[in-house]
């Protein structure tokens, strides 16, 4: 049976329209979609915030956001004016039921197929659902969009999911992990399943180990209130790194649709080996940054509790207990205030066969595939060749065969993940969004690891701000005869 075409969204209602996410990410993403003629003529965007603003004042704020977060070379007055015309504003105190009556007046002017985007704290979700329910606007043609983290642990994520499912069908719920909107992340499926060269080698027979690194150079800045209660494992591993892991390791989906892709990811999460107390020492490193060159340590950041033992770095050896990946270690590493912002997946292939080249070159053996999300969006395969030279018959050199997407696809700039995500919300495609099971399984694994860590004797390690993490993280990977890939 051919599935019914999804309803096209006519209006966006953006809760938290003056917040960081809206200003830095969503408004610029809408700008690029407008520039590229991707938005329907009638699409309207209603911003909701606590500040009393007129429509014009809100449009000025949108304009300021564009000047700050879209680079001057891409700004075009015609595009700005078309986009600003779409924006309206309604002031609303989300915790006051009366406010929703005013909102209902603004909603009357909008098309009926509405996407409600909650760029607000999950603490306010219930008030918003009840408020919207009270004014009878939650129909089967609307969608609800929420951001990661969905909760703080398994229990709280279940509570949020239950609240969502009380008012919406799973097919109306769009849970965002913005990594899934990144072009290179979407490319993982194409790279793996459209290239037989890779698909035939993508298993424990050919792959030695895999690294997934999300190193950030930023510290906590003004996000301490949020971050200190979370830590790097909950903030980065629970969704971003585990999602990358799923896409790297899942079986080929039967179809390129949300159901097939999500169910393959769920199987990976089910197969993740739980980290228990005994495994902490060899599989888990947790650390916090201290004062480094020109950079202050975590507990010296403004407003921070000096006794905080929240981790700003973790590295983990993960294992997937299934047929394809038996015995392959997956090293996950992420931290704040590291030497540079680097987000990459590195696949180390095994070298097999009888080695016939120079002994000096032997350390080079084994191809490496580097999939970079940052600083460049690129794919690079390290291959071996003979250096030119009459006397260099048996020496090896390793060089990258590289695809930099900006260059190969002649792009003006790499779109932010949010452009893809907003388009998919408009068009009703859930492939790039998380389903309930994915969120809950990921929390279960993280909760287990955190509980095991708490019960173990392992101490919190430290690393100077601006470096690549603690020495214990080097040891974790070296104990298995491997090394972190550093350019
Ligand atoms: C967010 C985390 O989800 O992702 C932040 O809450 C983190 O702490 C950010 O800095 C990283 O995203 P990106 O796209 O810059 O790698």
> Would you place residue 3 in the very low, low, confident or very high pLDDT band (cuts 50, 70, 90)?
low
Instruction: Find residue 342's DSSP bridge partners.
Output: 215
d(CA 469, CA 213): 12
228 in ligand 1 pocket by Cβ < 6 Å? no
Tell me the CA–centroid distance for residue 177 and ligand 1, in Å: 10
Instruction: Find residue 440's DSSP bridge partners.
Output: none
For residues 290 and 462, is the Cβ–Cβ distance under 8 A? yes
Please state the pTM of the whole predicted model. 0.95
Residue 411 is predicted with a pLDDT of 76
Residue 415 is predicted with a pLDDT of 76
d(CA 189, CA 192): 5
Catalytic option among 167, 240, 348, 485 = 240
Residue 486 is predicted with a pLDDT of 85
User: Which of the listed residues 122, 178, 338, 343 should we mutate to test ligand 1's pocket, taking the one with most ligand atoms within 8 A of CB?
Assistant: 178
User: pLDDT tens digits for 124-166?
Assistant: 999 999 999 999 999 999 999 999 999 999 999 999 999 999 9
* Secondary structure of residue 139 in the 3-state scheme: coil
CATH class of 180-415+435-478: alpha beta
Which residues 6+ apart lie within 8 Å of 197 measured at CB?
Answer: none
C-alpha distances in Å from residue 309, one per residue of 169, 229, 459: 40, 10, 10
Domain boundaries along the sequence of the chain? 11-147, 180-415+435-478
CATH for the 11-147 domain, from 3.40.50.720, 3.40.50.410, 3.40.640.10, 2.60.120.10:
3.40.50.720
Instruction: Find residue 47's DSSP bridge partners.
Output: 14, 89
Atom of ligand 1 nearest to the CA of 218: 10
> Would you place residue 5 in the very low, low, confident or very high pLDDT band (cuts 50, 70, 90)?
low
161 in ligand 1 pocket by Cβ < 6 Å? no
For residues 308 and 227, is the Cβ–Cβ distance under 8 A? no
For residues 47 and 58, is the Cβ–Cβ distance under 8 A? yes
* Secondary structure of residue 208 in the 3-state scheme: strand
d(CA 270, CA 264): 10
For residues 142 and 116, is the Cβ–Cβ distance under 8 A? yes
Give yes or no: 240 in active site.
Answer: yes
Residue 28 is predicted with a pLDDT of 96
Residue 4 is predicted with a pLDDT of 63
Residue 304: pLDDT over 90 = no
377 in ligand 1 pocket by Cβ < 6 Å? no
Tell me the CA–centroid distance for residue 422 and ligand 1, in Å: 18
Q: Exposed/middle/buried for 44, CB within 10 Å: 0-12, 13-18, 19+?
A: middle
> Would you place residue 341 in the very low, low, confident or very high pLDDT band (cuts 50, 70, 90)?
very high
438 in ligand 1 pocket by Cβ < 6 Å? no
d(CA 158, CA 174): 16
Residue 243: pLDDT over 70 = yes
For 291-343, the DSSP string reads: -BTTB--GGGSTT--TT----SEEEEEE-B-STTTTT--EEEEEESSBSS-EE
417-427 and 183-194 helices cross at what angle (nearest 10)?
80
Residue 1: pLDDT over 70 = no
Q: Length of the chain in residues, anyone?
A: 487
Tell me the CA–centroid distance for residue 323 and ligand 1, in Å: 32
Atom of ligand 1 nearest to the CA of 343: 16
424 in ligand 1 pocket by Cβ < 6 Å? no
Sign, CA torsion 224/229/231/233? negative
The number of beta carbons lying within 10 Å of the beta carbon of residue 239 is 26
177 in ligand 1 pocket by Cβ < 6 Å? no
* Secondary structure of residue 423 in the 3-state scheme: helix
Residue 2 is predicted with a pLDDT of 57
Tell me the CA–centroid distance for residue 287 and ligand 1, in Å: 18
Average pLDDT over every residue of 261-267: 98
Tell me the CA–centroid distance for residue 214 and ligand 1, in Å: 9
Cα radius of gyration rounded to whole Å, the chain: 24
343 in ligand 1 pocket by Cβ < 6 Å? yes
């Amino acid at each position: 049976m051919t599935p019914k075409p999804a309803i096209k969204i006519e209006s966006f209602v953006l809760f938290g329209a003056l917040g960081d996410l809206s200003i830095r990410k969503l408004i610029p993403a809408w700008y690029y979609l407008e520039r590229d003629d991707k938005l329907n003529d009638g699409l309207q965007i209603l911003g909701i915030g606590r500040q009393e603003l007129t429509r014009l004042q809100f449009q000025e704020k949108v304009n300021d956001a564009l000047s700050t977060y879209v680079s001057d070379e891409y700004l075009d007055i015609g595009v700005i004016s078309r986009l600003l015309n779409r924006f309206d504003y309604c002031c609303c105190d989300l915790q006051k039921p009366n406010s929703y009556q005013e909102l209902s007046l603004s909603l009357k002017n909008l098309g009926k197929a509405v996407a409600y985007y909650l760029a607000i704290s999950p603490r306010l979700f219930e008030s918003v659902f009840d408020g919207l329910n009270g004014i009878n606007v939650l129909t089967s043609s609307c969608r609800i969009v929420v951001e990661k983290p969905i909760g703080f642990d398994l229990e709280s994520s279940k509570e949020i999911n239950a609240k969502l499912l009380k008012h919406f069908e799973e097919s109306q719920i769009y849970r965002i992990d913005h990594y899934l909107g990144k072009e290179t992340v979407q490319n993982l499926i194409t790279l793996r399943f459209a290239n037989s060269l890779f698909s035939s080698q993508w298993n424990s027979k050919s792959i030695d180990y895999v690294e997934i690194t999300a190193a950030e150079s930023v510290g906590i800045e003004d996000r301490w209130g949020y971050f200190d209660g979370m830590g790097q494992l909950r903030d980065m591993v629970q969704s971003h790194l585990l999602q990358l892991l799923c896409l790297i390791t899942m079986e080929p989906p039967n179809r390129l649709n949300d159901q097939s892709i999500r169910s393959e990811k769920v199987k990976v999460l089910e197969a993740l080996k739980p980290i228990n107390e005994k495994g902490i020492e060899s599989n888990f490193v947790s650390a916090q940054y201290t004062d480094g060159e020109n950079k202050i340590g975590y507990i010296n950041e403004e407003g921070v509790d000096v006794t905080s033992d929240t981790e700003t770095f973790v590295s983990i050896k993960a294992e997937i207990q299934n047929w394809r990946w038996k015995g392959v270690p997956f090293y996950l590493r992420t931290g704040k205030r590291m030497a540079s912002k680097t987000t990459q997946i590195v696949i180390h292939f095994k070298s097999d066969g009888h080695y016939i080249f120079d002994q000096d070159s032997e350390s080079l053996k084994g191809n490496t595939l580097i999939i970079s999300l940052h600083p460049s969006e690129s794919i690079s395969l390290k291959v071996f060749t003979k250096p030119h030279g009459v006397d260099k018959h048996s020496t090896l050199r390793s060089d990258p065969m590289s695809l930099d997407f900006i260059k190969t696809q002649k792009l003006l700039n790499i779109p932010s993940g949010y452009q893809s995500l907003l388009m998919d919300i408009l068009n009703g495609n859930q492939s790039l969004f998380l389903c309930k099971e994915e969120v809950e399984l990921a929390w279960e694994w993280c909760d287990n690891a955190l509980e095991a860590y708490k019960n173990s004797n392992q101490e919190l390690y430290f690393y100077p701000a601006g470096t690549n993490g603690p020495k214990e993280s080097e040891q974790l990977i070296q104990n298995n005869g491997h090394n972190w890939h550093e350019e």
